[in-house]
Amino acid sequence: MADWKSEVEEVVFPGKICVPYSWTVGSTLSRWYVQLRDDGEIWANRCPSCGTVYVPPKIKCIKCYKDMNDWVKLPGTGTIETFTVVNKERPGLDPKKPPFVYAVIKMDGADTGMVHLIGGVEPEKVKVGMRVAPVLEKERDGHITDIKHFKPIA
């Protein structure tokens, strides 16, 4: 099927798609983001039925399907459950320049894992079970990257 190119010049159109979009995060996450932005605090919510504590919070418990209006302020510290070191750059998509570390963090006082970046440490020194604390941006705009990253603590 490649033979036709010897008979006629191949014409190729460059395409470009720009897709701006907005996303309302809803009642529960709006409350969470405002706390993070204005007070620099990380909150979680708790299921009144099974007691599972969610961070980031969810509007309903994924098991009991109960509304979760019971808010808990977390100390912010946590433990690395697992991680991966990103080495290959994807311009425009990566939150920072590789190498950088994504980790799933089990926050103290919560039951669920949260995905975030690990900083302030050489990537090769990151380990499962490492204790971490959040480093917040000074200027915050209500986004998950208001937490700059989590850094190891003793």
- Work out whether 35 is an interface residue with another protein (CB under 8 A): no
Which sign does the torsion angle of CA 19, 24, 29, 32 carry? Answer: positive
Nearest Cα to Cα of residue 57 among 70, 69, 47, 44? 44
Contact 118, 80 (CB under 8 A): yes
* Least Å from the CB of residue 153 to another protein: 19
By the 10 Å C-beta count (0-12 exposed, 13-18 middle, 19+ buried), 69 is classed as exposed
* Least Å from the CB of residue 60 to another protein: 11
- Work out whether 72 is an interface residue with another protein (CB under 8 A): no
- Work out whether 8 is an interface residue with another protein (CB under 8 A): no
- Work out whether 82 is an interface residue with another protein (CB under 8 A): yes
107: which 2 tokens? 């926050």
Residues making contact with another protein (CB under 8 A) = 1-2, 5, 15-17, 21, 23, 25, 29, 32, 52, 54, 56, 58, 62, 81-88, 90, 92-95, 102, 104, 111-117, 123, 127-128, 144
